Structure 1
Amino acid sequence: MSTVIDNAPYTAFHRRLALACSGGPLLDGYILSIVGVAVTGMQPELGLSTAAVSLIGASALIGMFVGGAVFGVLTDKIGREVMYTADLLVMVACSVASFWADQVWLIVALRFVLGMAVAADYPIATSLLAEWLPIKERGRLLGKQIVAWYAGSVLAYVVGYLFLQFGGNGSWRWMLASSAVLCLFFLVIRRGSPESPLWLAQHGRGEEAVAVVRKHLGREVTVAELTSGGTDEATGGEQMGAGSLRVLFSPAYRRRTLFCGLFFLCQVAPLFAMLTFGPAILGSFGLPGGTVMDTLGTGLISLVFLVGCYPALRAIDTRGRRPTIILSFALMIVPLVFLGVWPTAPAALALIALCAYAFLCGGPNVLDWTYPNELFPTQVRATAVGFATSVSRVGAAVGTYLLPLSLSGLGIGPTMLMAAALTAVGLLVCVLWAEETKGVGLQTSSQTPAPSEPELIHA
C-alpha cells in the first residue's frame, strides 16, 4: 500500500488545490441561497404563484440530482482534470443568461442546468482533492469544502441585502447573474491543477502518475504502490471497472452506498429548505416579512451553519467520524422539536433555536464529502460522491418544493416536527452504519472490511 501520498508533507501545493476545489461548494451555496433573496423581488414583478416559487427554488436541486448521477460516473471514466473547468464555463453562461430571463420556464431551465454543473463539480473536485491529501490533513480539508458552501451562502445573503438596499426594481436579475463573477475567479485559480496520480495509475498511465507525484510532492513512488487497492471482494477479486454503479450496489459496498446517500439526504432536506426559504420561516414566527430583516436573519443562520463546522472539523480528527456524526444528529433533533411544539414562540427565541440547529449541523456537514471519498476506491470514488449527492438532492428538492406549501397548508409547527422526524431517521442510519475512518490511509479505508474486522465499523 502506497504511503508516499498519505505521509507527504503538507505544502503550498495542497493549500492551492484545496482552494481551487472549494469553488464548487462555494458556488453551490451562493447559487442556491441567492435565489431565496431574489424571489422576494421576482415574485411581485413576474406575478409568481406559490407553486412557481417552489419550482424555481427546487429546480437547481433537481438538476443536481441528474448532474451528480451522470457526471460522477463520467469523472471516474475520463478523469478528474478533463472536466475541471468545463463545468465552471457552463455556470458562467447560465448565470449571465439569467439576467435576461423573464419567464418562469426559462428561469427554471437555467437553474436546472446550473444545478447539473454544480453537482458535476462535487465528484470532480472532492475526489481529486482526496487523492492528493496526506492522512493527517484529509479529514480537515475535505470537511472544509462544506465551509466553502456556507461561505458562499453567507456571501449570497450579503450580496442580496446590498441589492435590496441599493438595487431598486429588477435587482433580482443582478442577483442571479452575480454568480458569474465567482465562476470566473475559480476558473483562474484552477489553471494548472494536475490530474489525480491514483486515477492515472489505475488507467494505465503509470509514468504520468509517477511524474506528477515527483513534480508536486517531490517524492518518488512506484506504479505498483499507486495501483494497490484496485481489486476487492466487491468484484470477486477482479479489477473493478471505472465508474461502475454495479460496484456501488454490490454486496460489499451496498451498505456504504445506502449510508452515504441516506445520512446526506436526511441532513440536507430540512437544511436546504431552511436556507432557500429562510425569510418565510422567520416570517411564520413573527419576524417582519418582505423586509431586509428576514434576509439578515436568514443570513445569520447561514453564518452559524458555517461557524458550527469548525468544532466539528476538530472533533472528526480527535473523537472520530462515527461518534461525531451520531452525536450531531441526536442533538439536531432538539431545536426542531422545540419549534414544532411551540409554533407561537417569539421571533427572537425561534431565531435562537434555528441558530442552535445550524450550529449542531456541523458534524454531518463536514462529513458529507469526507465519508464517500474515504469509503470507496479510486475506480468508483467520484461515482460514489456523485450518487450520494444525487440522493441528497432528491430530499433537498422535495423539501424545498414542499416547505412553502407546508407552511401555508399545515403551519410552522407540523413543518418543524416533520423536519425533526427526518433528522431522527438520519440518526438511526448513522447508529447502524457509520464507520470509523480516522487515521486510516485512503486506499485502506476504501477497502471493505472482512468479517473478522468489525472494529473498522464500530471503533
Structure 2
Amino acid sequence: MNYKTTLDASPLTPFHLRLVLLVFSAHMIDGYALGVIGYVIDYYETQQNISPVVQGLLGSSALPGLFLGSMILGRMADKYGRNTLFIVSFVIIFIASLLQFFFYSIPGIILLRFILGVGIGGDYAVGLTLLAEFLPKKQRGVLLGLFSPVWTVGYVIAIASARYFVTTPDPGTVRLLLAFPAGPALLILLFRLGIPESPVWLLSRERISDARKVLAQYFPRTEIVLSEGNIRHTHPSSGLFSAQIWRSTLFASLFFICIVLPYFAIYTFLPFFLEKMPVLTFMQRGISMEVFLLFGALFGLWLTRQFPRRQFTLVSFGVLGLCLITLVVADSALVISLSFALFTLLISAISNLTGVYLPECFPTALRSSGVGFATAMSRIGAALGTFLLPIIVEGYGMEVCLLLLSAVLLIGLAATWYWALRGNAHSLE
C-alpha cells in the first residue's frame, strides 16, 4: 500500500477526534464574533444614531483581517509547516478578543476585530488543512462537514447572549459580549500545544524520517508505508494559477464567495433585515431562525454523505437563488415566510461543504495556500456584502438588495457547473 491509501484507510482514533475539536473551536469563535456584532451595531445605532456607513464598517471589520490572515498565514503554513501556525493563529485570536474588553470605542472595536479576523482567517487555512491531511477518507466528509454546525452553535450562542444584552443595554455588557471569546480561546490554545506536524506536509518536504516518527507515535497500531515517489514540489505563489490548478482555484474561490456573501450580509444585520421585512414575524425574536440554522447544519451533514459534492452544490445554489427571488415577487406572507425559512435551512446546510470541498481541491504543496486563498477571496465578498447591505437597502430598497444577492447565488451555480470537482470523496496527498 502506498502512503495515501494507507493513511486514507486508517481507523479513526481519539487523536483524530481531539484534532477535530481543536480545529473547529476556532469556527465556533468566528460564529460567535459575527453573530454578536449585529446586536452591538444595534446598540450603537440606538445610543449614538450611527450612519449606515459606520454600521457597515462595524459589521465588516473582521473580514479584511480574515482576508489577510488566510492569505499570509496560509502561505506561511505551506512554507514553514502547519503546527507552528496552528498555535500562532490562536495567540492572535486570544489577544484581540481580550483587548476588546478594554478598548470598546467604535474605532477600537473596528481595529481589534480586524486583528481578530487575521487570527481566525489564518486558522481557517491552517486548521482545515492540518485536519484534512490527518483524517481517513471514510470519515473526512462528515467530520470536515462539522464546520457549519459548529459555526452555527457559536452564532446561536451570540444571539442568546445578545438577547439578554438587548434587555440591559449598557457599555459594560457590550465589553463582555465582545471579549467573551478570550476565555475559550486561551483554553483552546493550551490544548493545541504539542499537536504534531502533518506527516503529509513532512513528506512533501522530503522529511521522510520525521513523517515516520509522527505516524509511529500517533498511529502505533497501523503500519503506514511511505511512498517517496509521491513527493511533489510546487511553489505556492505561482502554482495556484498554473495550467493544472487554476480551475480549482477559481471554483474554490467563487464557491466560497457565493455562500458567505449572502450569508454574512443577511445574518450579520438580522435585526435590521427583519425590521425591513416585518412580514417575517415568526423570526422577529430570532428564535425560529436559530432552530432553522442549527437543523440546516445538521441536515447538511447527512446530505454531504448521501450526495456527490457537485450535485449537492448545484441544487443548493439554484434553490437558494429562487428563495430570495420569491421574497421579492411573492405577495403571500406565508410564502415569504416559508421561502426565508427554506433559505435559512439550506444556506446552513451547504455551508458544511466549505470545510469539505476546499481541501480536496488542491494538492499537498498548495493545500494550505489554496484553502487560504479561497477563504481570503470569500472574505472580500463577505466584507463587501456586510458593508454595502445597509447602504443599498437605504438607497435602493430591500428588493434590489435581495435581487443582487440572488444573482450572487446564481453565479455560484454557474461556477459549480463549469469548474467543480466531480465525485464524492477524494484522496489527499
Give the structure-2-normalised TM-score.
Answer: 0.93
> Which secondary structure does the structure 1 equivalent of 2:293 belong to?
helix
Amino acid at match of 2:421: E
Query: CA 1:390 to 1:140, structure 2 compared with 1: closer, same or farther past 3 Å?
Result: same
Show the 5 A alignment for 1:304-323.
304-323=292-311
* Offset from partner CA, 1:329-362 (integer Å, 9 cap, x none): 11111220111224x764x764543221021124
Q: Identical aligned pairs, as a percentage?
A: 32
Query: What is the rounded CA distance, in whole Å, between the counterparts of 2:38 and 2:67 in structure 1?
Result: 20
Structure 1 residue 33 corresponds to structure 2 residue 19: no
* Offset from partner CA, 1:18-59 (integer Å, 9 cap, x none): 111102211111111111111222334445222111101111
Structure 1 residue 252 corresponds to structure 2 residue 240: no
Range with bigger deviation, 434-443 or 252-261: 434-443
Q: How many residues align?
A: 426
Amino acid at match of 2:74: G
Query: What is the rounded CA distance, in whole Å, between the counterparts of 1:336 and 1:300 in structure 2?
Result: 18
Aligned to 1:448: none
Query: CA 1:288 to 1:353, structure 2 compared with 1: closer, same or farther past 3 Å?
Result: closer
Query: What is the rounded CA distance, in whole Å, between the counterparts of 1:345 and 1:60 in structure 2?
Result: 37
Structure 1 residue 230 corresponds to structure 2 residue 216: no
* Offset from partner CA, 1:166-194 (integer Å, 9 cap, x none): 56454222111111122123223323322
Query: What is the rounded CA distance, in whole Å, between the counterparts of 2:310 and 2:80 in structure 1?
Result: 33
Structure 1 residue 365 corresponds to structure 2 residue 368: no
Show the 5 A alignment for 1:425-444.
425-443=411-429
Query: What is the rounded CA distance, in whole Å, between the counterparts of 1:401 and 1:355 in structure 2?
Result: 24
Amino acid at match of 1:96: L
> Which secondary structure does the structure 2 equivalent of 1:112 belong to?
helix
* Offset from partner CA, 1:297-356 (integer Å, 9 cap, x none): 2x64244233213333223333211111111111111220111224x764x764543221
Show the 5 A alignment for 1:245-324.
245-286=237-278, 294=284, 296-297=285-286, 300-324=288-312
* Offset from partner CA, 1:99-142 (integer Å, 9 cap, x none): 23243322211111111110000111101100111110011111
Structure 1 residue 341 corresponds to structure 2 residue 329: yes
Query: What is the rounded CA distance, in whole Å, between the counterparts of 1:350 and 1:100 in structure 2?
Result: 43
Amino acid at match of 2:234: M
* Offset from partner CA, 1:42-82 (integer Å, 9 cap, x none): 33444522211110111111111111111110111111110
Query: What is the rounded CA distance, in whole Å, between the counterparts of 2:291 and 2:185 in structure 1?
Result: 22
Amino acid at match of 1:265: I
> Which secondary structure does the structure 1 equivalent of 2:65 belong to?
helix
Aligned to 2:317: 329
Query: CA 1:401 to 1:273, structure 2 compared with 1: closer, same or farther past 3 Å?
Result: same
Show the 5 A alignment for 1:6-21.
6-21=8-23
Aligned to 1:450: none
Range with bigger deviation, 131-140 or 168-177: 168-177
Query: CA 1:125 to 1:104, structure 2 compared with 1: closer, same or farther past 3 Å?
Result: same
Amino acid at match of 2:195: S
Query: CA 1:355 to 1:190, structure 2 compared with 1: closer, same or farther past 3 Å?
Result: farther
Q: 1:68 aligns with which of 58, 67, 70?
A: 70
Amino acid at match of 1:324: F
Range with bigger deviation, 272-281 or 155-164: 155-164
Query: What is the rounded CA distance, in whole Å, between the counterparts of 2:153 and 2:307 in structure 1?
Result: 25
Query: CA 1:109 to 1:318, structure 2 compared with 1: closer, same or farther past 3 Å?
Result: same
Aligned to 2:99: 97
Amino acid at match of 1:367: L
Query: What is the rounded CA distance, in whole Å, between the counterparts of 1:160 and 1:324 in structure 2?
Result: 34
Query: What is the rounded CA distance, in whole Å, between the counterparts of 1:207 and 1:167 in structure 2?
Result: 58
Aligned to 1:402: 388
Aligned to 1:220: 223
Preserved CA contact (<8 Å) 1:135 1:439: yes
> Which secondary structure does the structure 2 equivalent of 1:117 belong to?
helix
Aligned to 1:158: 160
Q: 2:177 aligns with which of 175, 178, 182?
A: 175
> Which secondary structure does the structure 2 equivalent of 1:8 belong to?
coil
Identify unmatched segments of 5+ residues in structure 2.
none
Cα RMSD, aligned residues only: 2.2
Query: What is the rounded CA distance, in whole Å, between the counterparts of 1:25 and 1:349 in structure 2?
Result: 33
Query: What is the rounded CA distance, in whole Å, between the counterparts of 2:140 and 2:292 in structure 1?
Result: 24
